Amino acid sequence: MALSDLNPVERNEEGIAAVLGILKQRLGERFQTGEAIRTQHAHTTTYIPTQAPDGVAFPGTTAEVQEIVTACAAHRVPVIAFGVGSSLEGHTNAPGGGISLDTSRMNRILAVNPQDLDCTVEPGVTREDLNRHLRDTGLFFPIDPGANASLGGMAATRASGTNAVRYGTMRENVLSLTAVMADGETVATGKRAKKSSAGYDLTRLLIGSEGTLGIITQLTLKLQGIPQAISGGVCPFPSVEAACNAVIATIQMGIPVARIELVNALQMRAMKSYSKLDYPESPCLFVEFHGSDAGVAEQAETFGAIAKEYGGGPFLWTSVAEERTKLWKARHDAYWSSLTLRPGAKGLSTDVCVPISRFAECVTQTEADIAEMGLIAPIVGHAGDGNFHVLVLMDAEDPKEIAATEEFVARLNMRAIGMDGTCTGEHGIGQGKVGFLRHELGHGVDIMRTIKQALDPQNIMNPGKILPAD
Ligand SMILES: Cc1cc2nc3c(=O)[nH]c(=O)nc-3n(C[C@H](O)[C@H](O)[C@H](O)COP(=O)(O)OP(=O)(O)OC[C@H]3O[C@@H](n4cnc5c(N)ncnc54)[C@H](O)[C@@H]3O)c2cc1C
């Protein structure tokens, strides 16, 4: 199936009209139906066409989320949770219309428990807000997607980022959740214990469910101590293959890198001019180590020696905070810098993930495919996890370019799946990757559908996402 073959969802005009009336009365100015705000709450970050909801609700409490969901359930109207809208696969589109439930006013940090290294937050708190709040406690929350995403959205997409190689993804960093389910009932999936064997793991069922099973209204998260010392730097390589092989060796040797990010030559060109970086225009690894002063120095030296074996270097590293911040700001701005490579083009950011031993092969085959198809498509990757992104820059008005991009993305997904990997390491399925789920999981998709039908029999929770229509 092509990327643009979206799962259709039938509109329920009568139900929608009824819910619009109820929510306007109940929420007043916290329920909006203007065109601009509705469009903002649909999906806008790729060429996937925008499918706006009929109204946007801004609840302030779990009880209000329950009220909104109950109204939607009574009238069989879709309800689509919305964090900050930075997801990349059409996740927040409303193919059958309905209500966008914006969590931005549920942005309280409810508790920080330094002794237990955990905190409890509402879903609209963003990762940067949380880390600002934690700064004086000596703790931090490590998951860092490139956007300043909401923690509810991050849990719902099972997000990760540059730190995942050391600290894991949202899957490992959420201790428990509270969610409003499709029948309007609230469920708490656990408490604050570090581990639990108490029955089915409902926390992990909701993590990555993309708003299709329930709306997360509270999260208890694991926190980490800010390391005593941090060192990091950039190491250029003669080829992308050499860089990938250095990553594989570093991971296989058990060096506890906190971040190890691949940036290919084209992406380096973009970052050099956009973020004013002074490094060669060749494939590079951005690397960071966390630990004691002696530990990080030793890890940096060992990594430098590995890089040298693969023809890389010089590995210039530093412990100076300002210099490191500049590097990682440039890395987090990779999406925006790459857009400057083709002004006016739309960027389609796709991600796949393979076992680390197949990483070099997958990236080099993908670079060859990009060259053969004549695409402009820089690559960045959370290399330590075998996860990489290709940003295809295309003219979204040109059907030929759209078709070529779809073909490229389909081949990339199938290549990753063929290497025992996944069509998405962290962005999720949304609408864009629906066609690849069965290739990856086979009968697993039927089990997912059974779960969806049991928990959301009217299909009101973010319909048209994750599960293929077949
Ligand atoms: C420049 C850029 C860089 C990025 N880099 C990364 C990266 O490195 N790693 C990564 O993982 N992702 C990355 N992303 C993707 C995106 O930031 C993540 O998917 C993020 O987790 C989405 O959070 P959000 O608040 O924007 O959610 P939204 O986009 O608002 O929603 C995403 C999905 O979650 C659902 N949802 C939102 N809130 C809730 C809730 N409270 N309860 C239930 N469901 C909910 C929505 O219905 C939707 O299906 C990047 C995006 C951009 C634009």
Closest residue by CA, ligand 1 atom 18: 87
Q: If you measure from the C-alpha of residue 95 to the centroid of ligand 1, how many angstroms do you get, rounded to a whole number? A: 18
* Mean pLDDT score, 338-365: 95
Half-sphere exposure at residue 238, Cβ-oriented, CA atoms within 13 angstroms: 6
Is 426 touching ligand 1 by the criterion CB < 6 Å?
Answer: yes
pLDDT given for residue 6 in this prediction: 66
The values of phi and psi at residue 157, to 5°, are: -100, 0
Is 261 touching ligand 1 by the criterion CB < 6 Å?
Answer: no
Confidence label for 45 from pLDDT (cuts 50, 70 and 90): confident
Strand, helix or coil at 199?
Answer: coil
For residue 74, how far is the Cα from the chain centroid? 32
**DSSP letter string, 52-92:** --SEEE---SHHHHHHHHHHHHHTT--EEEESSS--SSSTT
Token pair recorded at residue 445: 């998709």
- C-alpha to C-alpha distances, 170 to 13, 57, 119, 143, 213, nearest whole angstrom: 37, 26, 14, 7, 17
Q: If you measure from the C-alpha of residue 182 to the centroid of ligand 1, how many angstroms do you get, rounded to a whole number? A: 21
Is 163 touching ligand 1 by the criterion CB < 6 Å?
Answer: no
- C-alpha to C-alpha distances, 192 to 109, 140, 353, nearest whole angstrom: 15, 17, 31
Predicted confidence (pLDDT) at residue 5 exceeds the cutoff of 70: no
Residues linked to residue 179 through DSSP beta bridges, in sequence order? 187, 216
The values of phi and psi at residue 119, to 5°, are: -150, 160
Find the helix or strand (DSSP H, E) in which 380 lies: strand 379-382
The reported pTM is 0.96
- Which of 365, 351, 370, 361 shows the shortest CA–CA distance to 422? 351
For ligand 1, pick from 40, 41, 157, 380 the residue to mutate: most ligand atoms within 8 Å of CB.
Answer: 157
Using the atom order of ligand 1, give the atom closest to the CA of residue 426.
11
* Mean pLDDT score, 101-116: 98
Contact 358, 321 (CB under 8 A): no
- Rounded to whole angstroms, the Cα distance separating 384 from 69 reads 40
pLDDT given for residue 1 in this prediction: 41
Is 335 touching ligand 1 by the criterion CB < 6 Å?
Answer: yes
What is the chain's mean pLDDT, rounded? 95
**Residue 108: count of CB within 10 angstroms of its CB:** 14
* Mean pLDDT score, 199-228: 97
Predicted confidence (pLDDT) at residue 160 exceeds the cutoff of 80: yes
Q: Are strands 55-57 and 31-32 parallel, antiparallel or unpaired?
A: antiparallel
Closest residue by CA, ligand 1 atom 31: 153
Q: Say which range, 71-75, 78-82, 316-320, 391-395, has the weakest mean pLDDT.
A: 316-320
Residues linked to residue 348 through DSSP beta bridges, in sequence order? 392
Q: Are strands 109-113 and 139-140 parallel, antiparallel or unpaired?
A: unpaired
Token pair recorded at residue 265: 């030559």
Closest residue by CA, ligand 1 atom 36: 153
* Mean pLDDT score, 332-343: 94
Token pair 């099972």: residue: 158
Q: If you measure from the C-alpha of residue 320 to the centroid of ligand 1, how many angstroms do you get, rounded to a whole number? A: 31
In the chain, the percentage of residues whose pLDDT exceeds 90 is 93
Is 83 touching ligand 1 by the criterion CB < 6 Å?
Answer: yes
Predicted confidence (pLDDT) at residue 222 exceeds the cutoff of 60: yes
- Rounded to whole angstroms, the Cα distance separating 456 from 286 reads 43
Is 146 touching ligand 1 by the criterion CB < 6 Å?
Answer: yes
Q: Tell me: the pLDDT tens digits for 450-467?
A: 999 999 999 999 999 999
pLDDT given for residue 7 in this prediction: 81
Q: Tell me: the pLDDT tens digits for 10-25?
A: 999 999 999 999 999 9
Using the atom order of ligand 1, give the atom closest to the CA of residue 170.
11
- Rounded to whole angstroms, the Cα distance separating 242 from 366 reads 15
Token pair 């180590």: residue: 289
SS3 content of the chain, % helix, strand, coil (to 5): 40, 20, 40
Is 180 touching ligand 1 by the criterion CB < 6 Å?
Answer: no
Is 80 touching ligand 1 by the criterion CB < 6 Å?
Answer: yes
Closest residue by CA, ligand 1 atom 21: 154
Is 178 touching ligand 1 by the criterion CB < 6 Å?
Answer: no
- Which of 236, 216, 109, 114 shows the shortest CA–CA distance to 155? 216
Is 177 touching ligand 1 by the criterion CB < 6 Å?
Answer: no
Q: Positive or negative CA dihedral for 175, 179, 185, 186?
A: positive
Is 384 touching ligand 1 by the criterion CB < 6 Å?
Answer: no
Q: Positive or negative CA dihedral for 101, 155, 417, 271?
A: positive
Using the atom order of ligand 1, give the atom closest to the CA of residue 428.
19
* Mean pLDDT score, 216-239: 96
- Rounded to whole angstroms, the Cα distance separating 82 from 39 reads 12
Q: Positive or negative CA dihedral for 297, 303, 308, 313?
A: negative
| Furthest CA-CA distance within the chain | 68
Find the helix or strand (DSSP H, E) in which 32 lies: strand 31-32
Q: Tell me: the pLDDT tens digits for 275-314?
A: 999 899 999 999 999 999 999 999 999 999 999 999 999 9
Confidence label for 48 from pLDDT (cuts 50, 70 and 90): confident
Closest residue by CA, ligand 1 atom 3: 146
- Rounded to whole angstroms, the Cα distance separating 264 from 50 reads 31
- Rounded to whole angstroms, the Cα distance separating 461 from 308 reads 52
pLDDT given for residue 319 in this prediction: 87
Q: Say which range, 43-57, 182-196, 280-294, 358-372, has the weakest mean pLDDT.
A: 43-57
- Rounded to whole angstroms, the Cα distance separating 372 from 412 reads 13
Using the atom order of ligand 1, give the atom closest to the CA of residue 159.
11
pLDDT given for residue 47 in this prediction: 75
Q: If you measure from the C-alpha of residue 59 to the centroid of ligand 1, how many angstroms do you get, rounded to a whole number? A: 19
Residues linked to residue 233 through DSSP beta bridges, in sequence order? 287, 317
* Mean pLDDT score, 429-442: 96
